[in-house]
Structure 1
Amino acid sequence: MLDDLSLDGMEEWDFDLLDDFSGEDGDDEAEEDDDEDELEDEDEDEEGDTMVQEVRGPAAPPPSRLGRHVQQAIGQMYSSHYEAARNTLPRGPAFLSHVLHVYKQDRPDKFREELRVSPSTFDRLVSRLAEDPVFSNNSENPQMPVETQVAIALWRFGRYGNSASLQHAANWAGCGKGTVDLVTRRVMTAVLRSSFLEEYICLPTEEEKAKAKEWVESHSCKAWRDGWCMVDGTLVPLDERPFWYGESYFDRKCNYSLNVQIVSLPNLRIIDVGYGYTGSTHDATAWRQTKMAQNHADILEDGEFIFADSAYPLEIFLVEPYKMPEREEPDNEVFNNHISIVRIRSEHAIGFLKGRFQSLKGLHVRIKDARSHKFATYWILVCIALHSFAMACEEEERAERGEDSEEVDNDPFIQEGLSSTSESDNNRPPVSVNRGGTRVQAARVRREELKEALFRDKEKRAERRRRR
């Protein structure tokens, strides 16, 4: 029913739906220029026809009085694009210029609240996107500066609820609602280029993987260090019920939403995404379409695995907590608690994403067909890519200031987004698996080995404390 929109197909973006408003015209009066050109062409054709008539025969008799009135009425209609007077909305002063010229220099904290990125990150993003062909045209009406277009798009990505309406964005930017939609689509088109996505939503380097393993070991035991990443699903609520297969978007929280799978590192960086699924899709189903699930044999080395919650199927490379009734056993409960201590970082990663770009708390996209469904999923992917870009830039900024990389845990965006992350494992519907399969049995043995290693490590630590 719904198209598969995995990252593997990112070379085949449907840019037509993003280019509906991003043609060769400028931002102002592009439509009026097209109409005037058509009228000039028609006038030239009429003059040519008159010359032919003059050569071939006598001129036509002058029009009657009624004909002259008709010609005058038609001329008046063509002289204006609107037959009735327009009740235009007066525009007030734009706050955008104040953000770009005052907050950016004097109050970087307020700048980050408005555009969800630091001033330095904003400048780097503008430089990264400025050369994209979507920001150039052959029209006599030039586009507004790329800096302004990126600022408008970031402001929209960071808002939800009533403040996310086109009219609020237009009032903030000091332009028309059509221009707001136009520049947002341009920025989305530039971010969706495969070069941008592959650079910022990618697998970790060896150094990143080593740091991830060190973090896991410090929060669990040495045997668990090979679980250097974790997966979790989150729901992106929609502002209204979709008109296109609406019931398929109805999720377990009684909202209409889209299901997104996030694979992240302990440092909160997102390394893989599964998207394009409706809210009724189970996490186990959406997870199978991610790059990590399909290519785990090539990505994970021997002994490495992924932490997940109870909504996912138990695999040899996917470690999850015990489900009922096994989790009622005391040892299994301790094991589940330690899984949660590690896996909470996936909740923080999703909270960081939704706290920065809060449009993912309530997406204002009306889904009425397959194209609008794709546009909604593109919106989500753009937010994830920009979030990853911002995280990379802010990490470099902290390094330049000599701050610890763990300072990211104090970012206020994390707390702002945690309220909308995925809910507790206890409220998730369990996934059904074939308990008699050899693969499941091997996964169960692997989980028991990890549990035994955890308790051995706890005993050693207790013994060291007693000796002190």
Structure 2
Amino acid sequence: MLVPMVCKAIPNEFLSPVAIKMAPNQRQRRLLKLILMMNVTQMELNVMALLFTIHIKNAQQILFFMDNKKSRIVPKVSNYYSETIPRFNDRDFKSHFRLSKTTCEVLLVKIHETTTSLPQPGRQIDIEKRLLMFLWYIGNMESFRSMADRFDVSKGTLHVSVKYISNVLVTKIMPLVISWPTGDRLQKIADGFSETSRLEGIIGAIDGTHIEIKCPSKHKQAYFNRKKYPSLVLLAVCDSSLNFTYVFTGCPGSTHDAGVLRQTPLYRDAPGVIPPGKHIIGDSAFPLLAWLMKPFRDNGNLSRDQIKFNQALSSSRQVIERSFGFLKSRFRRLIKLDAVDMQVIVETILSGCTLHNICLANDDEMFDIEHDIGDDVQNGPEQVQGNQEGTDIRQTLMERL
């Protein structure tokens, strides 16, 4: 039968160093030290006094539970946005936000110019603070709870800010910085490729990369790629300077690169936007078309000219692999996105591509790039159909080497 007990409040001298030394046994001394180390409330002290009175064998376990409960209460960071960030030098700012101060200022001007008529959602927050919260989000793997504490906002406000900035980047800024080349720009890109390759007429390199995501609740199997993790495929074309000229994402990870390509507006519009004599290059996962060159399939009996062509094509298409490597190294959230909202996931990926181009335009280089970041996922063989026109053009290019 449990007997109710009343315990008087513990006086401060009970927790003094002298009192700890005078404790009758080692176990009680250890418990008193634990109490002294914890910033406990008076009510919790009374509970502890009760533990000493009735000599509960599991007292230490209860104290551990109380201490663990306190450890989960993370205090918000005071004045991080208003005082700490302004004191960052250029190097510190870039290491945290993955953009230089100059690039961030350029981006902020672009956002101001394109959002003057757009109402901000939720609580009114300075647009610069929203941008910095988004840059921290896409550039780091920190949890939302920790980020919210860092910027002294609620998790809900942080979610709204991330969604707002990513939407602005995709709908307002991306069309300005990621566009298909035409005219003099197209010829300049072709000239850039010709400096590193003997192949004629290249205006872009195409490939797909996998962005790991939290598996959606519906159609789960469709999102698992060959390496057995859920992902979305980002299909992109880049120029000789690593700028993205076309990006498309949203297809589940099990989709083959050729299957993704067939769902893009680029596939539909290519004959009209890629002039005769010009083409993009891809790996063996893509179809051989008049505007898309791929290597000869190596069955062990390639001719010397075919091997030479494959080597030239491979060296030229390395730019897209480097672009993906730079993208994921700079914006590390794209290594694994744990968001649930598919629109947020897609817009975060496209926002990263947009920021990538803005950084290149402002000569904003990263010095901690990991060149080997990639997925190397091939979803198995697919019957990739080409056409005779593509075969003839490839043969001509090979003969001109």
Query: 1:338, 1:365 → 2: CA distance?
Result: 40
Query: 1:115, 1:183 → 2: CA distance?
Result: 16
Give how far 1:88 is off: 6.5
Aligned to 1:77: none
Give how far 1:297 is off: 1.6
Query: 2:85, 2:320 → 1: CA distance?
Result: 33
Q: Secondary structure at the match of 1:218?
A: helix
* Counterparts in 2 of 1:99 and 1:316: CA distance versus 1, 3 Å: farther
1:446 corresponds to 2:393: yes
Give how far 1:327 is off: 6.4
Contact 1:311/1:429 (<8 A) preserved: no
Structure 1 residues 149-201: Cα deviation after superposition (integer angstroms, max 9, x where no partner): 100011101123xx2x10221233232222211211221232233x4232112
State the AA in 2 paired with 1:197.
M
1:391 to 341, 360, 364: 360
Aligned to 1:374: 343
Contact 2:212/2:337 (<8 A) preserved: yes
Matches within 5 A, 1:53-68: none
Aligned to 1:203: 180
Query: 1:298, 1:326 → 2: CA distance?
Result: 37
Which runs of 5 or more structure 1 residues have no equivalent in the other structure? 1-86, 367-371, 398-407, 455-468
Q: How many residues align?
A: 328
Give how far 1:235 is off: 0.4
Greater fraction of residues in helix: 1
2:77 to 75, 79, 92: 92
Query: 1:363, 1:136 → 2: CA distance?
Result: 25
TM-score (norm 2): 0.75
Give how far 1:446 is off: 1.6
1:216 to 188, 193, 208: 193
Query: 2:322, 2:169 → 1: CA distance?
Result: 24
Give how far 1:428 is off: 5.8
Contact 1:326/1:332 (<8 A) preserved: no
Structure 1 residues 234-270: Cα deviation after superposition (integer angstroms, max 9, x where no partner): 10011x3321211110001221100110011011111
Q: Secondary structure at the match of 2:150?
A: helix
State the AA in 1 paired with 2:399.
E
Percentage of pairs with the same residue = 25
Query: 2:314, 2:301 → 1: CA distance?
Result: 13
Structure 1 residues 8-39: Cα deviation after superposition (integer angstroms, max 9, x where no partner): xxxxxxxxxxxxxxxxxxxxxxxxxxxxxxxx
Aligned to 1:432: 383
Aligned to 2:146: 168
Q: What RMSD, in angstroms, separates the aligned Cα atoms of the two structures?
A: 2.4
Give how far 1:329 is off: 4.2
Matches within 5 A, 1:328-343: 328-343=302-317
* Counterparts in 2 of 1:432 and 1:374: CA distance versus 1, 3 Å: same
State the AA in 2 paired with 1:451.
M
Aligned to 2:68: none
State the AA in 2 paired with 1:431.
E
1:116 corresponds to 2:98: yes
Which runs of 5 or more structure 2 residues have no equivalent in the other structure? 1-71
1:125 to 107, 111, 126: 107
Give how far 1:441 is off: 2.5
Query: 1:203, 1:99 → 2: CA distance?
Result: 41
Give how far 1:343 is off: 0.3
TM-score (norm 1): 0.65
Contact 2:133/2:161 (<8 A) preserved: yes
Structure 1 residues 81-138: Cα deviation after superposition (integer angstroms, max 9, x where no partner): xxxxxx97532335444553111xxx2122111111111111122222235244547x
Q: Secondary structure at the match of 2:250?
A: strand
Q: Secondary structure at the match of 1:324?
A: coil
Contact 2:181/2:245 (<8 A) preserved: yes
Aligned to 1:25: none
Aligned to 1:143: 124
Q: Kindly report structure 1 stretches of 4+ aligned residues shifted beyond 6 Å.
A: none
Query: 1:255, 1:98 → 2: CA distance?
Result: 41
